Structure 1
Amino acid sequence: MLIRRTLRIITVLTTTCTIALAGSVGPAQAEESHVSSQKQLLFYNHAYSVVDRETADAVENSAYLRDFANFEVRTTTGGGLTWKGRYLKGRETYIELFGENDLPGQDALYGSAGLGVSTERAGDLAKVTTRLAALGITDPARYRQTRDFGDGVPIPWFDTIRTTAAQYEAFDPWAMEYFPEYFADPRSQTEPASYTGDVSRERYLPDAYADHLMRDITHLRIGVTAIDLANTTPLLKAGGFDVTTTGGGIIATGGGTTVQLDSVAREGAGLKQVSLSLNRSVATRHVERIGRSTLTVGPGARAEWTFDAPA
Protein backbone atom coordinates (compact mmCIF):
# COMPACT_ATOMS: atom_id res chain seq x y z
CA MET A 1 0.00 0.00 0.00
CA LEU A 2 1.04 3.57 -0.48
CA ILE A 3 0.84 6.22 2.24
CA ARG A 4 1.94 9.79 2.89
CA ARG A 5 4.55 10.41 5.56
CA THR A 6 4.26 13.62 7.61
CA LEU A 7 5.41 16.62 5.53
CA ARG A 8 6.12 14.58 2.38
CA ILE A 9 4.78 11.81 0.14
CA ILE A 10 6.25 8.37 0.48
CA THR A 11 5.27 4.90 -0.60
CA VAL A 12 4.72 2.06 1.76
CA LEU A 13 3.15 -0.89 1.35
CA THR A 14 -1.79 -9.22 7.42
CA THR A 15 2.09 -13.10 11.00
CA THR A 16 0.33 -15.11 12.56
CA CYS A 17 0.36 -17.08 15.79
CA THR A 18 0.84 -20.68 14.65
CA ILE A 19 -2.50 -22.38 14.18
CA ALA A 20 -2.88 -26.13 14.09
CA LEU A 21 -6.28 -26.18 12.43
CA ALA A 22 -7.57 -24.02 9.61
CA GLY A 23 -10.97 -22.35 9.93
CA SER A 24 -12.67 -19.88 12.19
CA VAL A 25 -12.37 -19.60 15.94
CA GLY A 26 -15.02 -18.46 18.38
CA PRO A 27 -14.83 -15.19 20.31
CA ALA A 28 -13.82 -16.92 23.55
CA GLN A 29 -10.96 -18.76 21.85
CA ALA A 30 -9.80 -15.62 20.07
CA GLU A 31 -9.87 -13.64 23.31
CA GLU A 32 -7.84 -16.31 25.09
CA SER A 33 -5.30 -16.41 22.24
CA HIS A 34 -4.96 -12.64 22.24
CA VAL A 35 -4.45 -12.43 26.01
CA SER A 36 -1.67 -15.03 25.78
CA SER A 37 0.30 -12.75 23.45
CA GLN A 38 0.05 -9.48 25.39
CA LYS A 39 3.83 -9.08 25.60
CA GLN A 40 3.99 -8.83 21.82
CA LEU A 41 2.11 -5.76 20.65
CA LEU A 42 3.18 -5.70 16.99
CA PHE A 43 2.98 -8.51 14.46
CA TYR A 44 4.14 -8.85 10.88
CA ASN A 45 1.34 -7.48 8.74
CA HIS A 46 2.82 -7.10 5.28
CA ALA A 47 5.89 -6.04 3.37
CA TYR A 48 6.39 -4.48 -0.02
CA SER A 49 9.32 -4.44 -2.40
CA VAL A 50 10.20 -3.02 -5.79
CA VAL A 51 11.44 -5.82 -8.03
CA ASP A 52 12.79 -5.65 -11.57
CA ARG A 53 10.28 -5.01 -14.36
CA GLU A 54 10.63 -8.51 -15.82
CA THR A 55 9.71 -10.11 -12.51
CA ALA A 56 6.89 -7.65 -11.75
CA ASP A 57 5.26 -8.33 -15.13
CA ALA A 58 5.71 -12.09 -14.73
CA VAL A 59 4.11 -11.98 -11.28
CA GLU A 60 1.21 -9.92 -12.57
CA ASN A 61 0.51 -12.37 -15.41
CA SER A 62 1.29 -15.65 -13.62
CA ALA A 63 -1.49 -18.23 -13.91
CA TYR A 64 0.30 -20.34 -11.29
CA LEU A 65 0.21 -17.60 -8.62
CA ARG A 66 -3.52 -17.14 -9.17
CA ASP A 67 -4.01 -20.81 -8.29
CA PHE A 68 -1.37 -20.92 -5.55
CA ALA A 69 -2.53 -17.92 -3.50
CA ASN A 70 -5.32 -15.43 -2.98
CA PHE A 71 -3.70 -13.24 -5.63
CA GLU A 72 -4.85 -9.80 -6.67
CA VAL A 73 -3.64 -6.95 -8.86
CA ARG A 74 -5.36 -3.91 -7.40
CA THR A 75 -5.32 -0.15 -7.79
CA THR A 76 -5.83 1.62 -4.46
CA THR A 77 -6.45 5.26 -3.58
CA GLY A 78 -5.49 6.59 -0.16
CA GLY A 79 -4.08 9.76 1.32
CA GLY A 80 -4.44 11.56 -2.00
CA LEU A 81 -2.34 8.99 -3.90
CA THR A 82 -3.16 6.10 -6.20
CA TRP A 83 -1.01 3.00 -6.71
CA LYS A 84 -1.16 -0.45 -8.30
CA GLY A 85 0.13 -3.40 -6.33
CA ARG A 86 0.45 -7.13 -6.89
CA TYR A 87 -0.78 -8.86 -3.73
CA LEU A 88 -0.43 -12.39 -2.36
CA LYS A 89 -2.70 -12.58 0.67
CA GLY A 90 -2.82 -15.25 3.37
CA ARG A 91 -4.89 -15.70 6.52
CA GLU A 92 -3.16 -12.93 8.49
CA THR A 93 -0.23 -11.80 6.39
CA TYR A 94 0.48 -10.64 2.87
CA ILE A 95 3.14 -9.26 0.53
CA GLU A 96 2.93 -6.58 -2.13
CA LEU A 97 5.21 -6.27 -5.15
CA PHE A 98 5.89 -3.29 -7.39
CA GLY A 99 7.92 -3.03 -10.56
CA GLU A 100 10.60 -0.47 -11.23
CA ASN A 101 9.09 2.95 -11.98
CA ASP A 102 5.65 1.92 -10.69
CA LEU A 103 6.07 4.40 -7.83
CA PRO A 104 7.26 8.03 -7.68
CA GLY A 105 10.58 9.39 -6.48
CA GLN A 106 13.21 7.18 -4.90
CA ASP A 107 10.65 4.39 -4.50
CA ALA A 108 10.73 3.88 -8.26
CA LEU A 109 14.16 2.27 -7.88
CA TYR A 110 14.81 -1.45 -7.71
CA GLY A 111 15.35 -2.63 -4.13
CA SER A 112 13.10 -0.10 -2.41
CA ALA A 113 11.08 -1.91 0.24
CA GLY A 114 9.06 -1.48 3.40
CA LEU A 115 7.70 -3.39 6.39
CA GLY A 116 4.39 -2.88 8.16
CA VAL A 117 3.89 -4.37 11.63
CA SER A 118 0.49 -3.95 13.23
CA THR A 119 -1.43 -4.29 16.48
CA GLU A 120 -4.20 -6.79 17.14
CA ARG A 121 -6.17 -4.72 19.66
CA ALA A 122 -7.25 -1.08 19.55
CA GLY A 123 -5.06 1.03 21.83
CA ASP A 124 -1.90 -1.07 21.60
CA LEU A 125 -0.17 1.41 19.28
CA ALA A 126 -0.09 3.87 22.19
CA LYS A 127 1.65 1.19 24.29
CA VAL A 128 4.25 0.78 21.53
CA THR A 129 4.86 4.52 21.64
CA THR A 130 5.50 4.28 25.39
CA ARG A 131 7.96 1.44 24.83
CA LEU A 132 9.74 3.45 22.14
CA ALA A 133 10.22 6.28 24.62
CA ALA A 134 11.95 3.84 26.97
CA LEU A 135 14.30 3.03 24.08
CA GLY A 136 15.09 6.69 23.51
CA ILE A 137 12.61 7.38 20.69
CA THR A 138 10.64 10.18 22.36
CA ASP A 139 9.17 11.87 19.29
CA PRO A 140 8.16 9.25 16.71
CA ALA A 141 6.71 10.39 13.39
CA ARG A 142 2.93 9.95 13.23
CA TYR A 143 0.60 9.74 10.27
CA ARG A 144 -3.11 8.96 9.80
CA GLN A 145 -4.10 7.20 6.57
CA THR A 146 -7.49 7.27 4.88
CA ARG A 147 -8.91 5.13 2.09
CA ASP A 148 -11.20 5.99 -0.80
CA PHE A 149 -13.16 3.06 -2.22
CA GLY A 150 -13.75 4.90 -5.48
CA ASP A 151 -16.86 6.82 -4.47
CA GLY A 152 -15.01 9.93 -3.34
CA VAL A 153 -15.89 9.38 0.32
CA PRO A 154 -12.66 8.59 2.22
CA ILE A 155 -12.78 6.92 5.63
CA PRO A 156 -10.12 6.51 8.35
CA TRP A 157 -8.00 3.44 7.56
CA PHE A 158 -5.12 3.24 10.04
CA ASP A 159 -2.70 5.21 12.19
CA THR A 160 1.06 4.79 11.83
CA ILE A 161 4.20 5.61 13.76
CA ARG A 162 7.84 5.54 12.67
CA THR A 163 10.97 5.91 14.75
CA THR A 164 12.04 8.96 12.73
CA ALA A 165 10.65 11.57 10.36
CA ALA A 166 13.91 11.53 8.40
CA GLN A 167 13.78 10.15 4.87
CA TYR A 168 14.71 6.49 4.68
CA GLU A 169 17.36 5.40 2.18
CA ALA A 170 15.67 2.32 0.70
CA PHE A 171 13.63 0.60 3.44
CA ASP A 172 10.61 2.10 5.21
CA PRO A 173 9.51 0.42 8.49
CA TRP A 174 6.33 1.48 10.27
CA ALA A 175 3.88 0.32 12.95
CA MET A 176 0.17 0.56 12.26
CA GLU A 177 -3.23 0.16 13.88
CA TYR A 178 -6.46 -0.21 11.91
CA PHE A 179 -9.38 2.01 12.86
CA PRO A 180 -12.56 0.39 14.24
CA GLU A 181 -14.45 2.75 11.91
CA TYR A 182 -12.82 1.05 8.94
CA PHE A 183 -14.14 -2.36 10.00
CA ALA A 184 -17.57 -0.87 10.69
CA ASP A 185 -17.86 0.49 7.15
CA PRO A 186 -19.58 -2.11 4.90
CA ARG A 187 -17.39 -1.02 1.99
CA SER A 188 -14.38 -2.59 3.73
CA GLN A 189 -15.96 -6.07 3.44
CA THR A 190 -14.21 -7.16 6.63
CA GLU A 191 -15.22 -9.71 9.28
CA PRO A 192 -17.05 -9.14 12.59
CA ALA A 193 -14.95 -8.66 15.72
CA SER A 194 -13.87 -11.80 17.58
CA TYR A 195 -12.97 -10.02 20.82
CA THR A 196 -13.16 -6.58 22.40
CA GLY A 197 -11.09 -4.07 20.43
CA ASP A 198 -10.42 -6.50 17.56
CA VAL A 199 -8.43 -4.68 14.86
CA SER A 200 -6.55 -7.81 13.84
CA ARG A 201 -4.91 -8.82 10.59
CA GLU A 202 -7.13 -11.89 10.31
CA ARG A 203 -10.23 -9.71 10.56
CA TYR A 204 -8.85 -7.36 7.92
CA LEU A 205 -7.98 -9.99 5.31
CA PRO A 206 -10.60 -12.05 3.46
CA ASP A 207 -10.95 -15.81 3.98
CA ALA A 208 -10.30 -16.56 0.30
CA TYR A 209 -6.84 -17.90 1.29
CA ALA A 210 -8.62 -21.14 2.29
CA ASP A 211 -9.36 -21.84 -1.38
CA HIS A 212 -5.66 -21.86 -2.28
CA LEU A 213 -2.40 -23.44 -1.13
CA MET A 214 -0.75 -20.40 0.46
CA ARG A 215 -1.66 -19.85 4.12
CA ASP A 216 0.77 -17.27 5.53
CA ILE A 217 4.25 -15.77 5.43
CA THR A 218 6.58 -17.36 7.98
CA HIS A 219 9.94 -15.82 7.08
CA LEU A 220 11.04 -12.74 5.18
CA ARG A 221 14.58 -11.73 4.21
CA ILE A 222 15.34 -8.24 2.93
CA GLY A 223 18.57 -6.35 2.33
CA VAL A 224 18.57 -2.89 3.97
CA THR A 225 21.15 -0.17 4.46
CA ALA A 226 22.82 0.35 7.83
CA ILE A 227 20.90 3.59 8.45
CA ASP A 228 17.56 1.97 7.65
CA LEU A 229 18.43 -0.98 9.87
CA ALA A 230 19.19 1.35 12.78
CA ASN A 231 15.79 3.02 12.36
CA THR A 232 13.97 -0.32 12.18
CA THR A 233 15.46 -2.18 15.13
CA PRO A 234 13.87 -0.07 17.95
CA LEU A 235 10.43 -0.43 16.36
CA LEU A 236 10.67 -4.24 16.33
CA LYS A 237 11.96 -4.30 19.90
CA ALA A 238 9.19 -2.00 21.12
CA GLY A 239 6.68 -4.26 19.40
CA GLY A 240 7.85 -7.25 21.41
CA PHE A 241 9.84 -9.10 18.76
CA ASP A 242 12.82 -11.10 19.98
CA VAL A 243 15.60 -9.29 18.11
CA THR A 244 18.97 -10.99 17.66
CA THR A 245 21.93 -9.13 16.19
CA THR A 246 23.89 -11.12 13.62
CA GLY A 247 27.20 -10.39 11.95
CA GLY A 248 25.41 -8.64 9.13
CA GLY A 249 22.02 -7.51 10.39
CA ILE A 250 19.23 -8.69 12.67
CA ILE A 251 16.76 -11.56 12.98
CA ALA A 252 13.44 -10.65 14.64
CA THR A 253 11.14 -13.49 15.70
CA GLY A 254 7.66 -13.52 17.17
CA GLY A 255 4.03 -14.02 16.31
CA GLY A 256 4.63 -16.68 13.67
CA THR A 257 6.83 -14.70 11.27
CA THR A 258 10.59 -14.20 11.33
CA VAL A 259 11.91 -10.98 9.80
CA GLN A 260 15.54 -11.16 8.71
CA LEU A 261 17.20 -7.89 7.71
CA ASP A 262 20.69 -7.98 6.20
CA SER A 263 22.83 -4.84 6.36
CA VAL A 264 23.95 -4.09 2.80
CA ALA A 265 24.97 -1.24 0.53
CA ARG A 266 22.11 0.50 -1.29
CA GLU A 267 22.77 -1.43 -4.50
CA GLY A 268 22.23 -4.71 -2.61
CA ALA A 269 18.95 -3.65 -1.01
CA GLY A 270 15.62 -5.33 -1.62
CA LEU A 271 13.63 -8.52 -1.18
CA LYS A 272 15.70 -11.71 -1.16
CA GLN A 273 13.51 -14.52 0.14
CA VAL A 274 10.02 -15.30 1.38
CA SER A 275 9.02 -18.51 3.20
CA LEU A 276 5.37 -19.50 3.27
CA SER A 277 3.21 -22.00 5.10
CA LEU A 278 0.61 -23.96 3.15
CA ASN A 279 -2.95 -24.93 3.98
CA ARG A 280 -2.15 -28.55 3.29
CA SER A 281 0.85 -30.76 2.71
CA VAL A 282 1.86 -31.56 -0.87
CA ALA A 283 3.62 -34.79 -1.76
CA THR A 284 5.86 -33.56 -4.57
CA ARG A 285 8.15 -30.60 -5.16
CA HIS A 286 7.08 -28.03 -7.73
CA VAL A 287 9.44 -25.33 -9.05
CA GLU A 288 7.93 -22.30 -10.78
CA ARG A 289 10.18 -19.74 -12.44
CA ILE A 290 8.51 -16.29 -12.35
CA GLY A 291 10.61 -13.65 -14.06
CA ARG A 292 13.89 -13.51 -12.16
CA SER A 293 12.40 -15.27 -9.14
CA THR A 294 11.88 -18.93 -8.22
CA LEU A 295 8.96 -20.29 -6.21
CA THR A 296 9.55 -23.78 -4.84
CA VAL A 297 6.46 -25.44 -3.38
CA GLY A 298 6.71 -28.59 -1.27
CA PRO A 299 7.25 -31.26 -0.47
CA GLY A 300 5.35 -30.81 2.78
CA ALA A 301 3.39 -27.78 3.90
CA ARG A 302 5.88 -25.05 3.03
CA ALA A 303 7.15 -23.04 0.08
CA GLU A 304 10.20 -20.86 -0.61
CA TRP A 305 10.29 -17.89 -2.98
CA THR A 306 13.69 -16.43 -3.85
CA PHE A 307 14.46 -13.30 -5.88
CA ASP A 308 17.52 -12.76 -8.07
CA ALA A 309 19.11 -9.38 -8.56
CA PRO A 310 18.88 -7.92 -12.08
CA ALA A 311 21.74 -8.88 -14.37
Structure 2
Amino acid sequence: MGIEFNHLYVTLDPDTLESIARSEFISQEFCTISRDTVKTETESWTGTYLRGKHSYIELFPPGGAEGLREGFSGLGFNSQQAGDMDIVRKKIRSLSETQEILSDLQVRETEAGQVPWFHYLSVNPAERGAFASWLMEFHPDYLAYKNIELTREGCFDRAAYLKTLETSETSLFDDISEIHLELTVSEQEELAFLLQGFGYESSGGGDGTTYHSDRFLIRVYQTVSPRYRIRRVVCAIADRPHPEKTFTFGKNARLNLGRSLAIWEFG
Protein backbone atom coordinates (compact mmCIF):
# COMPACT_ATOMS: atom_id res chain seq x y z
CA MET A 1 0.00 0.00 0.00
CA GLY A 2 1.26 3.48 -0.85
CA ILE A 3 -0.23 6.67 0.60
CA GLU A 4 1.29 10.05 -0.27
CA PHE A 5 0.72 13.58 0.90
CA ASN A 6 -1.03 15.47 -1.91
CA HIS A 7 -1.85 19.05 -0.89
CA LEU A 8 -3.03 21.35 1.88
CA TYR A 9 -5.30 24.34 2.16
CA VAL A 10 -5.21 27.40 4.42
CA THR A 11 -7.83 30.15 4.70
CA LEU A 12 -6.14 33.56 4.90
CA ASP A 13 -7.42 37.08 5.44
CA PRO A 14 -7.97 38.85 2.07
CA ASP A 15 -5.03 41.28 2.44
CA THR A 16 -2.53 38.49 3.11
CA LEU A 17 -3.89 36.39 0.26
CA GLU A 18 -3.70 39.30 -2.20
CA SER A 19 -0.15 40.08 -1.11
CA ILE A 20 0.91 36.54 -2.03
CA ALA A 21 -1.04 36.60 -5.31
CA ARG A 22 0.59 39.90 -6.37
CA SER A 23 4.15 38.90 -5.46
CA GLU A 24 6.51 38.86 -8.45
CA PHE A 25 8.88 36.55 -6.58
CA ILE A 26 6.12 33.97 -6.03
CA SER A 27 4.88 34.01 -9.62
CA GLN A 28 8.24 34.38 -11.38
CA GLU A 29 10.57 32.27 -9.22
CA PHE A 30 8.89 30.29 -6.47
CA CYS A 31 6.07 28.46 -8.24
CA THR A 32 3.25 28.40 -10.75
CA ILE A 33 0.38 30.42 -9.29
CA SER A 34 -3.21 30.57 -10.50
CA ARG A 35 -6.66 31.51 -9.27
CA ASP A 36 -9.22 28.89 -10.23
CA THR A 37 -12.82 27.96 -9.57
CA VAL A 38 -13.62 24.27 -9.20
CA LYS A 39 -17.16 22.97 -9.57
CA THR A 40 -18.49 19.56 -8.60
CA GLU A 41 -21.99 18.22 -8.82
CA THR A 42 -22.70 19.39 -5.24
CA GLU A 43 -20.51 22.45 -4.54
CA SER A 44 -17.92 24.89 -5.87
CA TRP A 45 -14.90 26.74 -4.50
CA THR A 46 -12.48 29.43 -5.65
CA GLY A 47 -8.88 29.30 -4.51
CA THR A 48 -5.39 30.59 -5.24
CA TYR A 49 -3.05 27.72 -6.07
CA LEU A 50 0.72 27.59 -5.47
CA ARG A 51 1.79 24.57 -7.50
CA GLY A 52 5.05 22.69 -7.00
CA LYS A 53 6.31 19.75 -9.01
CA HIS A 54 4.89 17.13 -6.63
CA SER A 55 2.40 18.91 -4.34
CA TYR A 56 0.61 22.21 -3.98
CA ILE A 57 -0.77 24.76 -1.54
CA GLU A 58 -4.38 25.89 -1.88
CA LEU A 59 -5.18 29.30 -0.38
CA PHE A 60 -8.72 30.49 0.27
CA PRO A 61 -10.23 33.77 1.40
CA PRO A 62 -12.98 33.45 4.02
CA GLY A 63 -16.01 32.12 2.15
CA GLY A 64 -13.89 30.86 -0.76
CA ALA A 65 -15.68 27.59 -0.11
CA GLU A 66 -18.91 27.38 1.87
CA GLY A 67 -18.29 27.69 5.60
CA LEU A 68 -14.59 28.60 5.47
CA ARG A 69 -13.35 31.14 8.01
CA GLU A 70 -9.88 32.59 8.51
CA GLY A 71 -7.44 29.97 9.79
CA PHE A 72 -9.53 26.98 8.67
CA SER A 73 -7.20 24.41 7.10
CA GLY A 74 -6.97 20.89 5.73
CA LEU A 75 -4.65 18.13 4.55
CA GLY A 76 -5.30 15.91 1.53
CA PHE A 77 -3.55 12.60 0.84
CA ASN A 78 -3.74 10.34 -2.18
CA SER A 79 -3.46 6.59 -2.68
CA GLN A 80 -1.02 5.35 -5.27
CA GLN A 81 -2.98 2.32 -6.44
CA ALA A 82 -6.61 1.30 -6.78
CA GLY A 83 -7.74 -0.61 -3.72
CA ASP A 84 -5.47 1.18 -1.23
CA MET A 85 -8.47 3.05 0.18
CA ASP A 86 -10.18 -0.22 1.06
CA ILE A 87 -7.06 -1.31 2.95
CA VAL A 88 -7.05 1.97 4.90
CA ARG A 89 -10.74 1.62 5.74
CA LYS A 90 -10.23 -1.89 7.11
CA LYS A 91 -7.21 -0.76 9.14
CA ILE A 92 -9.18 2.08 10.77
CA ARG A 93 -12.04 -0.33 11.50
CA SER A 94 -9.56 -2.68 13.22
CA LEU A 95 -8.38 0.21 15.40
CA SER A 96 -11.88 1.29 16.40
CA GLU A 97 -15.35 0.06 15.52
CA THR A 98 -16.96 3.30 16.76
CA GLN A 99 -15.20 5.78 14.49
CA GLU A 100 -17.49 7.20 11.82
CA ILE A 101 -15.93 6.81 8.38
CA LEU A 102 -17.29 8.75 5.42
CA SER A 103 -16.42 7.71 1.88
CA ASP A 104 -17.97 8.93 -1.33
CA LEU A 105 -17.24 9.80 -4.95
CA GLN A 106 -16.50 13.39 -5.99
CA VAL A 107 -17.74 14.19 -9.51
CA ARG A 108 -16.22 17.20 -11.28
CA GLU A 109 -17.89 19.55 -13.73
CA THR A 110 -15.72 19.93 -16.85
CA GLU A 111 -16.11 21.31 -20.35
CA ALA A 112 -16.80 17.70 -21.39
CA GLY A 113 -19.55 17.35 -18.78
CA GLN A 114 -19.52 15.53 -15.44
CA VAL A 115 -16.48 13.28 -14.92
CA PRO A 116 -15.90 11.02 -11.87
CA TRP A 117 -12.93 12.70 -10.15
CA PHE A 118 -11.89 10.81 -7.02
CA HIS A 119 -13.19 8.63 -4.21
CA TYR A 120 -12.51 10.12 -0.79
CA LEU A 121 -12.43 8.91 2.79
CA SER A 122 -12.43 10.86 6.05
CA VAL A 123 -12.83 10.07 9.75
CA ASN A 124 -15.61 11.66 11.86
CA PRO A 125 -16.30 14.33 9.23
CA ALA A 126 -17.63 17.64 10.50
CA GLU A 127 -19.77 20.08 8.54
CA ARG A 128 -16.97 22.24 7.07
CA GLY A 129 -15.03 22.15 10.35
CA ALA A 130 -11.99 24.24 11.18
CA PHE A 131 -9.71 21.33 10.28
CA ALA A 132 -10.18 18.54 7.75
CA SER A 133 -8.07 15.61 6.58
CA TRP A 134 -8.95 13.07 3.93
CA LEU A 135 -7.69 10.42 1.52
CA MET A 136 -8.32 10.59 -2.24
CA GLU A 137 -8.20 7.76 -4.76
CA PHE A 138 -8.36 9.21 -8.27
CA HIS A 139 -10.92 7.69 -10.62
CA PRO A 140 -9.66 6.05 -13.87
CA ASP A 141 -12.16 8.14 -15.89
CA TYR A 142 -10.62 11.39 -14.68
CA LEU A 143 -7.07 10.19 -15.31
CA ALA A 144 -8.11 9.24 -18.83
CA TYR A 145 -9.86 12.59 -19.33
CA LYS A 146 -6.66 14.43 -18.34
CA ASN A 147 -4.40 12.00 -20.24
CA ILE A 148 -2.51 11.17 -17.05
CA GLU A 149 -0.50 7.97 -17.36
CA LEU A 150 0.30 5.70 -14.43
CA THR A 151 3.87 4.71 -13.66
CA ARG A 152 5.31 1.41 -14.92
CA GLU A 153 4.26 -0.11 -11.59
CA GLY A 154 0.68 1.07 -12.16
CA CYS A 155 0.86 3.86 -9.55
CA PHE A 156 -0.71 7.30 -9.59
CA ASP A 157 1.99 9.86 -10.48
CA ARG A 158 1.65 13.19 -8.63
CA ALA A 159 4.15 14.93 -10.90
CA ALA A 160 2.29 13.77 -14.03
CA TYR A 161 -0.97 15.04 -12.51
CA LEU A 162 0.48 18.48 -11.77
CA LYS A 163 2.02 18.71 -15.25
CA THR A 164 -1.51 18.76 -16.66
CA LEU A 165 -2.00 21.97 -14.67
CA GLU A 166 0.93 23.61 -16.49
CA THR A 167 3.31 23.51 -13.53
CA SER A 168 6.61 25.22 -14.33
CA GLU A 169 9.68 23.00 -14.60
CA THR A 170 11.97 25.89 -13.63
CA SER A 171 10.27 27.04 -10.42
CA LEU A 172 11.84 26.53 -6.99
CA PHE A 173 8.93 24.77 -5.25
CA ASP A 174 9.28 20.99 -5.53
CA ASP A 175 7.40 19.21 -2.73
CA ILE A 176 6.11 19.51 0.85
CA SER A 177 8.04 17.44 3.38
CA GLU A 178 6.86 18.62 6.80
CA ILE A 179 3.82 20.34 8.34
CA HIS A 180 3.30 21.73 11.85
CA LEU A 181 -0.28 21.91 13.14
CA GLU A 182 -2.08 23.35 16.13
CA LEU A 183 -5.20 21.26 16.78
CA THR A 184 -7.81 20.67 19.44
CA VAL A 185 -7.84 17.28 21.19
CA SER A 186 -10.70 15.93 19.06
CA GLU A 187 -9.12 17.18 15.82
CA GLN A 188 -5.84 15.45 16.65
CA GLU A 189 -7.63 12.20 17.56
CA GLU A 190 -9.40 12.11 14.19
CA LEU A 191 -6.19 12.87 12.29
CA ALA A 192 -4.35 10.20 14.30
CA PHE A 193 -6.86 7.52 13.28
CA LEU A 194 -6.45 8.45 9.62
CA LEU A 195 -2.65 8.46 9.81
CA GLN A 196 -2.60 5.12 11.65
CA GLY A 197 -4.72 3.76 8.82
CA PHE A 198 -2.00 4.93 6.44
CA GLY A 199 0.66 3.13 8.47
CA TYR A 200 2.31 6.24 9.96
CA GLU A 201 4.50 5.87 13.04
CA SER A 202 4.06 8.30 15.96
CA SER A 203 6.22 9.52 18.82
CA GLY A 204 5.79 12.05 21.60
CA GLY A 205 8.31 14.60 22.78
CA GLY A 206 8.22 18.03 24.31
CA ASP A 207 4.78 19.53 23.92
CA GLY A 208 3.84 17.83 20.65
CA THR A 209 3.37 14.55 18.80
CA THR A 210 5.18 13.61 15.61
CA TYR A 211 3.63 11.40 12.92
CA HIS A 212 5.88 10.26 10.11
CA SER A 213 6.17 8.04 7.07
CA ASP A 214 9.35 7.43 5.06
CA ARG A 215 9.37 10.87 3.46
CA PHE A 216 6.77 12.99 5.22
CA LEU A 217 6.39 14.36 8.76
CA ILE A 218 3.52 15.98 10.64
CA ARG A 219 4.07 17.66 14.00
CA VAL A 220 0.94 18.33 16.08
CA TYR A 221 0.65 20.64 19.07
CA GLN A 222 -2.56 20.56 21.11
CA THR A 223 -4.26 23.91 21.70
CA VAL A 224 -7.64 24.61 23.25
CA SER A 225 -8.76 27.14 20.63
CA PRO A 226 -6.18 27.55 17.86
CA ARG A 227 -6.60 30.49 15.50
CA TYR A 228 -4.72 28.88 12.60
CA ARG A 229 -4.54 25.07 12.34
CA ILE A 230 -1.62 24.95 9.88
CA ARG A 231 1.23 27.05 11.27
CA ARG A 232 4.34 25.89 9.39
CA VAL A 233 4.90 24.17 6.03
CA VAL A 234 8.37 22.99 5.04
CA CYS A 235 8.98 22.75 1.29
CA ALA A 236 11.82 21.07 -0.57
CA ILE A 237 13.10 23.36 -3.31
CA ALA A 238 15.16 23.00 -6.47
CA ASP A 239 18.95 23.03 -6.22
CA ARG A 240 19.69 26.17 -8.20
CA PRO A 241 20.86 29.71 -7.37
CA HIS A 242 18.25 31.76 -5.50
CA PRO A 243 18.14 34.45 -2.82
CA GLU A 244 18.20 33.42 0.84
CA LYS A 245 15.63 35.81 2.18
CA THR A 246 12.49 36.23 4.27
CA PHE A 247 9.36 37.46 2.46
CA THR A 248 6.43 38.83 4.46
CA PHE A 249 2.90 38.82 3.04
CA GLY A 250 0.26 40.85 4.89
CA LYS A 251 -0.20 40.03 8.57
CA ASN A 252 -0.50 36.26 8.41
CA ALA A 253 2.05 34.72 6.05
CA ARG A 254 5.83 34.64 5.90
CA LEU A 255 8.16 32.67 3.62
CA ASN A 256 11.68 31.92 4.87
CA LEU A 257 13.78 30.91 1.87
CA GLY A 258 16.97 29.04 2.73
CA ARG A 259 19.53 27.16 0.71
CA SER A 260 17.66 23.85 0.42
CA LEU A 261 14.30 24.49 2.11
CA ALA A 262 11.52 27.06 2.00
CA ILE A 263 9.41 27.41 5.14
CA TRP A 264 5.95 28.97 5.09
CA GLU A 265 4.57 30.30 8.38
CA PHE A 266 0.87 31.13 8.70
CA GLY A 267 -1.02 33.01 11.37
Q: Is the 8 A contact 1:159 1:176 kept in 2?
A: yes
Q: Residue 89 of structure 1: CA displacement?
A: 1.6
Q: Is the 8 A contact 2:79 2:136 kept in 1?
A: yes
Q: Which residue of 2 aligns with 1:134?
A: 94
TM-score between the two structures when normalised by the length of structure 1 = 0.77
- Secondary structure class of the residue paired with 1:102: coil
Q: Which residue of 1 aligns with 2:77?
A: 117
Distance 1:262 1:111 in 2: 15
Out of 149, 153, 161, the position equivalent to 2:121 is 161
Question: What do residues 222-241 of structure 1 show as CA deviations (whole Å, max 9, x unaligned)?
Answer: 22221111111011111022
Q: Which residue of 1 aligns with 2:182?
A: 223
Q: Which residue of 2 aligns with 1:289?
A: 248
Q: Which residue of 1 aligns with 2:45?
A: 83
Q: Which residue of 1 aligns with 2:63?
A: 101
Q: Residue 150 of structure 1: CA displacement?
A: 3.8
Q: Is the 8 A contact 1:93 1:216 kept in 2?
A: yes
- Secondary structure class of the residue paired with 1:192: coil
Residues 1:301 and 2:263 are matched in the alignment = no
Same amino acid, percent of matched pairs: 24
**Alpha-carbon spacing, 1:116–1:57, altered in 2? closer, same or farther (3 Å):** same
Q: Which residue of 1 aligns with 2:154?
A: 197
Out of 243, 248, 263, the position equivalent to 2:222 is 263
Q: Residue 209 of structure 1: CA displacement?
A: 3.9
* RMSD over equivalenced CA pairs, Å: 2.1
Question: What do residues 290-311 of structure 1 show as CA deviations (whole Å, max 9, x unaligned)?
Answer: 222221212x221111123xxx
- Secondary structure class of the residue paired with 1:43: strand
| Matched letter for residue 26 of structure 2 | L
Distance 1:285 1:277 in 2: 14
In structure 1, runs of 5+ residues without a counterpart are 1-37
Distance 1:61 1:222 in 2: 27
Q: Residue 101 of structure 1: CA displacement?
A: 3.0
Distance 1:205 1:126 in 2: 25
Q: Residue 63 of structure 1: CA displacement?
A: 1.8
Which of structure 1's runs of 4+ aligned residues deviate more than 6 A?
Answer: none
Distance 1:115 1:291 in 2: 23
Distance 2:266 2:150 in 1: 37
Q: Residue 246 of structure 1: CA displacement?
A: 4.3
| Matched letter for residue 62 of structure 1 | S
Count of residue correspondences: 262
